[in-house]
């Protein structure tokens, strides 16, 4: 089985309408984090922002609510 990382998958799909990004929603208040950080709803908004990218949106990026982050 061949495993892709986000950059390789983005490159493989570069001629399609698919966008492949790794999204960091930030620390989210869950049982795992002791309920510290942003609400799950806030984290979901960060993820949905990148799910709904336009056709000319970024691909192959590591992103957060602040935008692209260096790999």
* pLDDT score of 37: 95
Burial of 48-58, coded b for 16+ CB within 10 Å and e otherwise, reads eebeeeeeeee
* pLDDT score of 23: 94
pLDDT band at 5 (very low <50, low <70, confident <90, very high): confident
Is the model's pLDDT at 1 over the cut of 80? Answer: no
pLDDT, one tens digit per residue, over 18-64 is 999 999 999 999 999 999 999 999 999 999 999 999 988 999 999 99
């Amino acid at each position: 089985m061949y495993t892709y990382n986000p950059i390789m998958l983005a490159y493989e799909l570069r001629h399609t309408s698919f966008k492949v990004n790794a999204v960091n929603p930030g620390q989210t208040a869950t049982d795992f984090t002791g309920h510290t950080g942003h609400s799950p709803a806030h984290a979901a908004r960060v993820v949905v922002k990148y799910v709904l990218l336009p056709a000319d949106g970024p691909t192959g990026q590591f992103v957060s609510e602040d935008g692209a982050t260096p790999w």
